Chains A and B, each alone.
Chain A
Amino acid sequence: MTGQAEACGVDAHLLQTGDELVVNIGPSHPSTHGVCRVIVHLDGEIVTHAEPVIGHLHRGIEKMAENRTYLQVVPLTDRLDYVGSMYANWAYCRAVERLAGIRVPERAEYIRVVMCELQRIASHMMSIGSTGADTGATSAFIYAFNQREQVVDLFEAVCGARLTYNYVRPGGVSFDLPDGWIEQCRAFTRSHPSAMVEIDKLLFGNVIARQRLKGIGVLPAEEAIARGVTGPAARGSGVDWDLRRDDSYSVYPRVDFEIPLGENGDAYDRGRVRLWECVESCRIIDQALAQIEEGPIKAEGLPRLLAPRPGEAYDHIESARGSLGVYLVSDGSVRPYRMHVRSPAFQNLSVLGYLAEGHTLSDLVVILGSLDPVFGEVDR
């Protein structure tokens, strides 16, 4: 048995009794990060088997999409990953644009990149903050949410919404940037990296948090690839794979950025990868804001009712959780014949049982948090 017990110098066997106890956690439990139920088999305090039971938030969004026009589906995609609505908006719109052959104006592409990088910060702040809360470092939670709040204010100034933005639309974005927004955004990207250094010291430099996170839930790189884990959860294991660079889309080829990688694949590395991604996101935003030019924000001459020619299209983007893809099938009518969302949160969560085995029950919560699942997207 490995895990925290050994990291703390306690013989794991002392925590075992030889009797197995089955404990049900959730579906409504403050530490399950949403409505997730986990059936845990315990031997003493050691997890011998953990099985996530999902679907409590299943709304049948894929079925609902078949009954709506292409534009009416956009608000549904907001409700997938509700911590990062911009991503699902964008992935869906990219699939529609590919299917219908729509060319997006350059300014709209820049705005999308800026919004999605801001969204990455907002989403990672939620994840890092809750990592702090899970390990007892509540102050880190407050510091992270202070940063998230500033991003959400920026979103509110652009589209009026703070959670479900419905901002990226097929062919462009719904509103142009308001006056003074770019300066407000620059002020944020100036102050954000130093806040990240502060959180790095406060949370990841803290001896208690280090003990709670280091060596917990180790995911080897080859397992991450085989099990379809993507995003920061895979990059924490050193998998050098990021769609922004490796299947570059939109205006990402025109900006310069690094992809932070972890080494050990534990909860600590996954968390820190997220932290440094936020700093890189600031770099991307600064470059995009410097390159952005005046121009239209929506493709011209788009019909109100899109009816793409029959066919299929798949497109994906790098969301805060990994490769988020949308597969669309059109039969030539005004409604999608089939929409499928390739959810990174769903795929990442599938390794929970593998990671939790051999750890203590309290580490299970940390491992779940380090995978950063959002159950709107897991259950769809």
Chain B
Amino acid sequence: MRIEELREHLCSVYPDLCPLFSVEFGDGTLTVPADRLFSAAQDMRDLGFDLLGMLTAVDRGETFELVYRVRSREMSAAIFLKTEVPRDEPRIPSLVPLWPAADWQEREVYDMFGIVFEGHPDLRRILLPDDWEGYPLRKDYADERIIRRPDYI
């Protein structure tokens, strides 16, 4: 399936989300509301997207954007699934039941952004010590030990 066919297919399955399906930099992006993430991901997996390649988050100010990159070996296609969760209550269903590959990557996002993955079997910090305070990849993370490079480069 080529990216255009994939787009048509997704537009027929998700007519309301089709305007949010964009192809930029070569890969398709499907943006879904947080409450539909799990079902959309489940559809993706059933469509043959068997590899969860990458899972990460981006601090967008008021919200955190979650980015999932799923890939189908058979179709030789990849797609980004994106969703947003509010900064004051960052909760999202875990995708470990669909792809066990999400296990450590979700722990890492929890560690770095404080996003809670509901239903994760073992949500603990992974790279930082258990007693670490704060979530370092949030833009408002403050630590006096961080040395800022001067603005003139």
Contacts and interface: CB of A to CB of B under 8 A. Distances in A.
B53 A316 contact: yes
B24 interface: yes
A311 B25 contact: yes
Interface centre among A54, A228, A327, A337 (most CB of B within 10 A): A228
B76 A246 contact: yes
Contacts of B54: 314, 325, 327, 340, 342
19 contacts: A62-B137, A63-B137, A99-B25, A225-B73, A227-B100, A228-B53, A228-B100, A228-B101, A228-B105, A246-B73, A312-B67, A316-B53, A327-B54, A327-B56, A337-B58, A340-B54, A342-B53, A350-B104, A380-B127
Interface of A: 54-55, 58, 60, 62-63, 67-69, 98-99, 225-228, 241, 246-247, 305, 311-314, 316, 323, 325, 327, 329, 334, 337-338, 340, 342, 346-347, 350, 379-380
A55 B53 CA distance: 21
B128 interface: yes
A228 B99 contact: yes
A327 B54 CA distance: 9
Nearest to A240: B73
A60 B108 CA distance: 12
Nearest to B69: A314
B111 to A, nearest CB: 9
Interface string B30-71: 000000000000000000001111101011000000010100
A325 B73 contact: no
A340 B101 CA distance: 17
A19 to B, nearest CB: 25
B55 to A, nearest CB: 8
B53 A325 contact: yes
A333 to B, nearest CB: 11
B148 interface: yes
A313 B99 CA distance: 23
B76 A227 contact: no
B153 interface: yes
